[in-house]
């Protein structure tokens, strides 16, 4: 009962009867208030799914939530981060709670009106199944343009291609064709499945360059975290035939002409022996799973094979490498080692360390960083907006 209900409808009683009625009504109101106070609070709605948490908190869109992105209490982060990797994965999140069985919310993030998204285009096969990409295309373009391909992160064991649409759209509006791809995760297959699928995607785009108005001689790749590792490997292993796989379009080259690497791992030997990152050496860590299991340091051949630095030569494309100085998941020495190795053979590259930044977060989508990426790609490909 609203308080105003009683006041706007006064009783027409006199003497004791009026007093009794007033006391009775007050008693009813007070009883209802006490009962409400004693009743347990009702939950508002259902607990969020991991995809909803990613949409809200995954600032760098790498398919996991690192400590700097997490908006809850630190103790909750530590409980969810079961493997101590410094990031919460889908598997860890869903292991703590039953899945949400409510229907997913409909709709996708909107894209600008001058952009077209072709979703789930099959670009090849891997492990006996189709591999898919989203294509982000400019409207009303008939001349060949450079391509910018995004590869998602997630410790090689999580993440999806969906977040890459937002990553490539700004460059599509500046004269590029965009793509964001899937690849087999380590729960499905260890290395080299991941790089084989990435190379297949590049070969597909080159084979279908006329269909999508792509200049096959101007393909750039970008990625963060595990995606950063894979784009760096694409950049240096163009001639590594044993990493090509057999997913399709074998007559095409998988070489790329520019690389944007956000805090990607490179040398696992340096990684797992860096102070504070030793837990990544253990069996079951993301790096261990990429290598097929076991302690990382027990597999020197695997360490060498997954390392982009292994394949560097003077003909590699330009690199833009961006890393946070306070990254608690991938040590900055990974990007520093790549930068030094590229410098040694004379490959054009830039290393930008963001002071105080962690493993992803808003610092990596700041306007100055976006401009840095745009300038780098535009410089690599001359004037991509010329029609």
Alpha helices in 149-207 (DSSP H): 164-172, 193-207
At residue 38, the pLDDT reads 44
pLDDT, position 348: 98
- CB-based contacts of 286, cutoff 8 Å, min separation 6: 83, 85, 155, 156, 157, 186, 226, 280
Looking at residue 25, its pLDDT comes to: 44
How far is the CA of 342 from the CAs of 38, 191, 228, 360, in angstroms?
Answer: 67, 23, 16, 23
Q: Which residues does 187 contact at the CB level (< 8 Å), separation at least 6?
A: 157, 289
Positive or negative torsion for Cα 46, 50, 53, 55: negative
Q: What is the pLDDT of residue 193?
A: 98
Domains of the chain (ranges, CATH numbers): 50-95 (no CATH), 115-380 (3.40.50.1820)
Is residue 361 within 8 Å of residue 60, measured between CB atoms? yes
Q: Which residues of the chain have pLDDT under 70?
A: 1-47, 60-61, 75, 83-84, 97-109, 383-387
Residue 243's pLDDT is what?
98
pLDDT at 23: 40
What is the C-alpha to C-alpha distance for residues 217 and 145, in angstroms, rounded to an integer? 10
Tell the burial category of 207 from Cβ atoms under 10 Å away from its Cβ (0-12, 13-18, 19+).
middle
């Amino acid at each position: 009962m609203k308080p105003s209900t009683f006041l706007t409808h006064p009783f027409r009683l006199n003497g004791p009867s009026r007093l009794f009625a007033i006391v009775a009504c007050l008693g009813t109101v007070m009883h209802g208030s006490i009962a409400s106070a004693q009743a347990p609070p009702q939950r508002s709605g259902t607990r969020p799914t991991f995809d909803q948490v990613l949409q809200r908190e995954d600032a760098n869109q790498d398919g996991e939530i690192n400590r700097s992105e997490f908006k809850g209490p630190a103790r909750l982060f530590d409980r969810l981060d079961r493997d101590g990797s410094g990031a919460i994965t889908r598997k860890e999140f869903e292991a703590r709670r039953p899945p949400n069985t409510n229907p997913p919310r409909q709709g996708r993030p909107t894209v600008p009106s001058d952009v077209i998204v072709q979703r789930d285009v099959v670009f090849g096969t891997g492990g006996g199944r189709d591999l898919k990409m989203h294509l982000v295309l400019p409207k009303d373009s008939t001349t060949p343009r450079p391509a910018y391909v995004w590869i998602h992160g997630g410790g090689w064991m999580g993440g999806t291609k969906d977040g890459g649409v937002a990553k490539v759209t700004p460059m599509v509006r500046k004269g590029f064709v965009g793509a964001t791809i899937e690849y087999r995760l380590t729960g499905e297959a260890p290395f080299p499945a991941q790089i084989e699928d990435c190379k297949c995607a590049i070969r597909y785009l080159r084979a279908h360059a006329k269909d999508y108005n792509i200049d096959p001689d101007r393909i750039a790749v970008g990625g963060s975290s595990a995606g950063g590792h894979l784009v760096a490997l694409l950049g240096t292993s163009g001639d590594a035939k044993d990493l090509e796989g057999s997913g399709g379009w074998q007559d095409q080259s998988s070489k790329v002409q520019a690389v944007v690497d956000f805090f990607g791992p490179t040398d696992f030997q340096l990684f797992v022996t860096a102070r504070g990152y030793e837990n990544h050496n253990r069996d079951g860590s993301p790096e261990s799973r990429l290598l097929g299991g076991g302690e990382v340091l027990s597999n020197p051949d695997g360490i060498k094979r997954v390392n982009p630095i292994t394949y560097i030569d003077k003909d590699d494309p330009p690199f833009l490498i961006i890393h946070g100085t306070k990254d608690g998941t991938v040590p900055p020495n990974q990007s520093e080692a790549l930068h030094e190795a590229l410098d040694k053979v004379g490959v054009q590259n830039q290393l930008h360390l963001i002071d105080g930044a962690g493993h992803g977060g808003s610092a990596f989508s700041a306007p100055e960083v976006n401009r840095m990426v745009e300038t780098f790609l535009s410089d690599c490909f001359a004037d991509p907006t010329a029609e």
